[in-house]
């Protein structure tokens, strides 16, 4: 029988695929809703063994010029181990309000080790994580001692932005799919309308 942790991991894995697809379709900022999914960015990281590029959505919080995120399934998470091996990553990040633009950045990741600072940023990320934090039992008013125990297995990463990225392969790279779909629907609607008018003419009594 699959235990709760593994069931959650599998559920998030499927959800992550849908989330990344949404970002590629240009809907990244629309999916960032604090009451539901929380603040979400996408990290593009390099496989420590395969050398392949992977994309993983994670909850985050901003503090100063940097962003912070948690390895929610602990230090054994594949994406986290990849980032440790290859700290240079890319980040897709909403730039402003709901439905607004998104940014694409080159960044460098490092593990936060200062315990007091880590606890503060950990709380920020969990507050910003929407239902994911609540699912894990987090409350905004949780005392520091309880929060420390609750999150001791969760590494915290700082992502420092190096430079903006442009070109192909970034967020919204599949946005043209909407145009193709809209055009196809328009053609289908036109064909249906013309066919309907033709049938109507045939049924009009002479």
Answer yes or no: do 73 and 162 share one domain: yes
In a 13 Å sphere around the CA of 182, the CA atoms on its Cβ side amount to 5
With tokens 């249906």, the residue in question is 192
Give the per-residue pLDDT at 85: 97
In 3D space, the residue among 109, 116, 122, 120 whose CA is nearest the CA of residue 154 turns out to be 122
147-184 tens-digit pLDDT: 999 899 999 999 999 999 988 888 888 887 655 544 55
Answer yes or no: do 94 and 165 share one domain: yes
Answer yes or no: do 87 and 187 share one domain: no
| CA 133 – CA 59 distance, rounded (Å) | 9
Answer yes or no: do 160 and 184 share one domain: no
100-154 tens-digit pLDDT: 568 899 999 999 999 999 999 999 999 888 777 777 677 778 899 999 998 999 9
| CA 134 – CA 131 distance, rounded (Å) | 5
Answer yes or no: do 122 and 151 share one domain: yes
**Confidence bin at 204 (pLDDT 50/70/90):** low
Answer yes or no: do 139 and 202 share one domain: no
Answer yes or no: do 114 and 191 share one domain: no
Phi, psi of 43 (to 5 degrees): -105, 125
Answer yes or no: do 45 and 138 share one domain: yes
**Confidence bin at 202 (pLDDT 50/70/90):** low
Are the CB atoms for 43 and 81 separated by under 8 Å? Answer: no
Identify the domain containing residue 22 by its residue range.
4-170
| CA 67 – CA 102 distance, rounded (Å) | 15
Phi, psi of 183 (to 5 degrees): -65, -45
Are the CB atoms for 71 and 129 separated by under 8 Å? Answer: no
Whole-model pTM over 0.85: no
62-99 tens-digit pLDDT: 999 999 999 988 999 999 999 999 999 999 998 765 55
27-57 tens-digit pLDDT: 888 877 766 668 899 999 999 999 999 999 9
What lies within 8 Å, CB to CB, of 64 at 6+ separation is none
pLDDT surpasses 70 at 200: no
* CATH code (residue 57): 2.30.110.10
Answer yes or no: do 58 and 154 share one domain: yes
Answer yes or no: do 141 and 204 share one domain: no
Straight-line distance from the first to the last Cα atom of the chain, in angstroms, rounded to the nearest whole number: 72
């Amino acid at each position: 029988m699959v235990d709760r942790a593994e069931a959650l991991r599998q559920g998030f894995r499927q959800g992550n695929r849908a989330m990344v697809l949404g970002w590629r379709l240009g809907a990244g900022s629309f999916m960032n809703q604090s009451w539901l999914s929380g603040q979400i960015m996408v990290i593009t990281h390099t496989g420590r063994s395969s050398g392949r590029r992977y994309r993983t959505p994670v909850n985050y919080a901003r503090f100063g010029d940097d962003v912070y995120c948690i390895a929610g399934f602990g230090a054994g998470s594949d994406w986290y181990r990849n980032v440790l091996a290859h700290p240079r990553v890319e980040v897709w990040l909403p730039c402003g309000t709901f439905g607004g633009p998104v940014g694409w950045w080159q960044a460098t990741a490092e593990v936060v080790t200062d315990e007091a600072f880590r606890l503060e940023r950990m709380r920020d990320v969990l507050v910003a994580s929407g239902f994911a934090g609540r699912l894990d039992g987090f409350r905004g008013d949780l005392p520091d001692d309880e929060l420390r125990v609750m999150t001791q297995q969760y590494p915290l990463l700082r992502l420092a932005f190096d430079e903006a990225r442009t070109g192909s392969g970034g967020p919204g790279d599949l946005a043209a799919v909407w145009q193709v779909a809209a055009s196809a629907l328009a053609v289908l609607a036109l064909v249906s309308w013309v066919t309907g008018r033709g049938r109507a003419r045939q049924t009009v009594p002479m």
